[in-house]
Amino acid sequence: MTQVVVVTGAASGIGAAVARHFAGLGARVVVADIDEAGGAAVAEEVGGLFVRCDTTGEEDNRALIDTAVQTYGGLDLVHLNAGIGDGGGFGEDDYDTRRQHRVLAVNLHGVMFGLHAALPALAAHGGGSLLVTSSMAGVGAAPFDPVYAATKYGVIGLVRSLAPAWQEKGVRINALCPGFVRTPILSPEAVAYLVGEGYALAEPAEIAASAAGIAAGEETGQAYVLQAGRAPEPVAFPRLDLARTHA
């Protein structure tokens, strides 16, 4: 049976690589992005459908999922991948609430809107998989962009909190936490610095292959660290037992 796959932020980087990977597996791919030229080009390349989608808008998210279902009859996988960085810092010179709100709108609220639109559609089609792109910044520390890190921690909290209830409806939800990847979110100067410091940079196609493997698995509520040359590593979260009072 041919899979139907929706990918946001798919005009470039990881999203474009995911679209290409699934198209190569024979899937019908819906490419979603605010970048109309880039998104349309990727959709044409993979023989898919382009839908302009500003993920910060609830209506755009609903329209994206509705279009995919109406065009192809259902959904099997949704990858909420759209994201941005540069939320600023907390010093006198780099604290900017407008930048903060933009990063929060795309990375956190946009994911919430996407989850709200996609989860019922996946369940209605008999179940499926939902991936959310977080980051290693969501399980570690990112002093260079603390607002970005906060949103990526938030995404993992959403995934872990929603997974149990939606598992009962046949939908698996997992987070991807890539390390450094050669995508447009890294400037050429940043790439040069990272390479010079000896950091390994993954290619988007490598992340896409890992994403496909995770989507095909049976796990849910997990966060997987994805780094160059390594297999996906599930994050070992501590088990917390709530204290109880006893009479």
> Which residues carry out catalysis?
135, 148, 152
137 closest CA partner among 203, 205, 87: 87
| Contact predicate 137/179, CB 8 Å | no
Which runs of E-coded beta strand occur in 106-242?
A: 128-133, 171-178, 223-226, 233-234
Separation between Cα atoms, residue 233 and residue 243, nearest integer Å: 30
The token pair at 183 is 């995508």
Separation between Cα atoms, residue 206 and residue 114, nearest integer Å: 24
Separation between Cα atoms, residue 74 and residue 176, nearest integer Å: 24
Q: How far is the first Cα of the chain from the last one, in angstroms, to the nearest whole number?
A: 57
Burial 194-217 (b: 16+ CB within 10 A, else e): eeeeeeebbebebbbbbbbebbee
CA torsion sign for 193, 85, 202, 156 is: positive
Separation between Cα atoms, residue 119 and residue 124, nearest integer Å: 9
